[in-house]
Every structure is written in C-alpha cells, then in structure tokens.
Amino acid sequence: MPEAAPLAEITRGPFVESIHLGHAVIAGPDGEIVEAWGDATKIILPRSSSKMLQALPLVESGAGAGLSSEQLALACASHSGAQRHVELVNRWLSDLGLEDDALCCGPQASRDKALRHAMIRDSQPVTRAHNNCSGKHAGFLTIAQHLGASLDYVDPENPVQKSVRATFEDMCGEDSPGFGIDGCSAPNFATSLTGFARAMAKFASLGLGGTARDRAVVALREAMIAHPDLVAGEGKACTILMRAANGRAVVKTGAEGVYSAILPDLQLGVALKIDDGATRAAEVAIAAILTRLGVLNADDPAVARFLKRPIENWDGLIVGEEHPAAGLI
C-alpha cells in the first residue's frame, strides 16, 4: 500500500519541527480518482464529516418534508452551541412534541465563549441541545417518528440507523466493514477514503435526475451553503472556508483529522484524513487542496490564515508557522 504523504508542516525558525502525514482523495462525478495523496484505499471512520450522508434519509424518505433550510443545515452540522443553534434545536424538538432528554447525544458545554461564560455565571444547566451533534439527532428523531420506530434511534439495529447505513453504503459505492460509536453515541460507519470521496462527488453532481435522492442531495447541499454559520459557528474553520468559497463549496470537519468537501461547480468530492488526528493539520490541508482546485483564493485573508498560520509564543512573538507540505498547492 502507498505510504502516508506529508500534508502539513510546522516550522520554527529555519527548522521543520513537525510533519503531519495523511491521505487525501479527489473524486470525480463517475467515482473516478482525479488526484490522490497517500493511500486512497485507507479505511477511515469519517466521523462528523459524513453528517450530510447521515441526514440524507431524513429528506429522501419524506420525513423532513416541511423542514426549513436552517433545520436541514443543522441536521448536517457540528455547531458550536451558540444561542441561535440551541434555540433552533429546541424549537425543532418542540415541534416533534419532545424534550431535551429525547436526544441521545449527551450534554456538552457550549463552545461559544460568551454563552458558556454567561451560563457559568448564571448557574444555567448544560443541556443536550448544546451538543454539537444535536441537530443531527433532531433529524434522527424526525426519521424515527416518520418510520414509527423506537426513539432508541442510535441502536445500530434501529430502522433509523439501518436506513443511514444503506444510504451511506450506496453513496460510497461499497459495503461498510463496520462502525465505531461516535462521541454523540450514534454509529459511525467506516469506508475507504476513495469511497468517501466518491460519496462527496455524488453530493456535488446529483440534482438533475428528478429522483427523491436528487432532490434530497440538492436540498441538503443548498442548505449548508446558505447557512455556513449553522454548519459550524463564528470563528470555526468550516464556516470561514465556506464563506470564502462564496457558494462554491460545502466544507465539513470530523474528529481525528478528517475533512470532506463538496464542490458542485466542479462536480468533485474531496476526502482527507490526517494520520495523527491533528485538526490543525487537517484545516491546513483542506484549505490547500481547495486552493489548488481554484475554489479558494490564496490571496483572500480568510484563506491565507490557514495556508500560512503564524505560531506565537507567550510574549506574542511570531516564532514559526503552520503551512501545507510542499506540492500540495
């Protein structure tokens, strides 16, 4: 098998202090590999970068009929638990006739600094709606009610997860070898990096056929593009890069150094995995690949901050930088 490729470097002064190795695949609309680094056959857990695939049955089944574009974006989101995110999720739960404890994702403190500090000052409880995956779980609950299934929707044998797995495998074009349990308690199905890139390419290219899947893909894709602040949050890489792409890309992170991208104009999909799981390296690498493809402009300050990210010491001195490995752009 091909060895992992250098994708990001950390320099300090004239020295390369650290190198992050990983794998990346760009796939075309027919599933072909357009370009690859490292091992294109590597099996990965895509984690939260696959949320649009987990949300696809919500729309394709008709369960999500009548949901707003904001709700569809939240179903694909790893949001920061800001006030707007939490309010939208709570309103969704109310529409379902359910309360916070119906969410199986567990409570998580808000990642929005102002809200988190206000909650601490006011002794407000951390809820499950604050969890970065609460929108996805509200979507799962919506599917469960539509199917008449048990609300134990994270059980791999629940009809909700069976539909997710079938959709995931069909979009990736290969059977999943299994799953791991994600931080939010839902199964996260494994696939090859090529399979995952292929699924992202389908998300980029479907939409003209008039089938339920075409309509579902377009609805989710357009919702994410329309609401980058809901997909992640202010100051988050996905939101920053999607805004910089001006509607030309869906960018989605996952834990342990995974990223995906959907590029409708180019009908391409991108899948990326950093071997050591470093988010800093994954952000640098995905920004570099999207710049390489012309979706991002290296001269845009919002993009440049990922292509040449300064490292400051405790006294505020610039002592190094994070940047893509040679040849990635």
Range(s) of the domain holding residue 257: 5-324
**Half-sphere CA count of 83, side-chain side, radius 13 A:** 7
Domain-embedded: residue 73: yes
Instruction: Give residue-wise pLDDT tens across range 233-283.
Output: 999 999 999 999 999 999 999 999 999 999 999 999 999 999 999 999 999
pLDDT at residue 263 in the model = 98
Q: Are 206 and 220 in contact (CB under 8 A)?
A: no
Share of the chain above pLDDT 70, in %: 100
Question: What phi and psi, each to the nearest 5 degrees, are found at residue 184?
Answer: -95, 10
Domain-embedded: residue 313: yes
> How do beta strands 43-44 and 187-189 pair?
unpaired
Instruction: Give residue-wise pLDDT tens across range 95-111.
Output: 999 999 999 999 999 99
Domain-embedded: residue 312: yes
Domain-embedded: residue 157: yes
Instruction: Give residue-wise pLDDT tens across range 213-246.
Output: 999 999 999 999 999 999 999 999 999 999 999 9
pLDDT at residue 192 in the model = 98
Domain-embedded: residue 117: yes
**Which residues lie below 8 Å from residue 271, measured CB to CB, with a gap of 6+?**
24, 25, 27, 44, 46, 49, 193, 194, 196, 197, 200, 258, 259, 260
Largest CA distance in the chain: 62
**Which residues lie below 8 Å from residue 159, measured CB to CB, with a gap of 6+?**
144, 147, 149
**How many domains does the chain divide into?**
1
> Which domain CATH number covers 224?
3.40.710
Tokens standing for residue 220: 């989710």
Range with the poorest average pLDDT among 87-91, 153-157, 204-208, 226-230: 204-208
Q: How confident is the model at residue 206 (pLDDT cuts 50, 70, 90)?
A: very high
pLDDT at residue 209 in the model = 85
Neighbours of 166 (CB within 10 A): 12
Domain-embedded: residue 329: no
Residue 80 has pLDDT above 80, yes or no: yes
pLDDT at residue 320 in the model = 97
AA letter at 270? V
Domain-embedded: residue 268: yes
DSSP output for 33-84: EEEEES-TT-EE--GGGGHHHHHHHHHHTSTTTT--HHHHHHHT------HH
Q: Full-prediction pTM beyond 0.85?
A: yes
